[in-house]
Each structure stands twice: as structure tokens, then as C-alpha cells.
Amino acid sequence: MAEKKQPEKRKKGAQSLEQQLEDTRERMDEAQDRLEMSNLPEEEQRRIRAKNKHREEMIAGLESELEDGYNQEP
């Protein structure tokens, strides 16, 4: 019975990671649009760019984690 729960846990974990990845990409796109479409103060632009850099790193980590998870599937 525990054998059946493990694939289900992996599936739910992968779905959660995929949702996090999608959400992060959306936030990054929205922030980029805001940078391009408005006349923000330089400090605000720097803050948004820094957050997007962090988001890029987070996306790479999530993609790697998903790839590792898929490679471990039975």
C-alpha cells in the first residue's frame, strides 16, 4: 500500500512545483511589463530588476527540481 502512495505523492509534488513555476513566470512577466510600460523612479526599476533576477534563479531551481523528479519516476 505504501508503494501506491509514493507515486501519488510525487505526482502531487510535481503539480505543486509546476504551479509555483507558472505563478513565478507570471509575476516575472507582469513585473517586466510594468517596467516597460510606466515611468518608474530609478529605485523602483532597480528593485523590480532585482526581484526578476531572483525569480529567474527560482525558475531555474524549480525546473531542475521538476526534471529530477521526472527522472526518478518508476
Distance CA(53)–CA(56), nearest Å, equals 5
Q: Please, are residues 29 and 51 in contact by the beta-carbon 8 Å criterion?
A: no
Strand locations in the chain (E): none
CA distance 3 to 15: 19
Write down the pLDDT at residue 24.
97
pLDDT digits (tens, 9 = 90+) for 5-62: 566 777 777 788 999 999 999 999 999 999 998 899 999 999 999 999 999 999 999 9
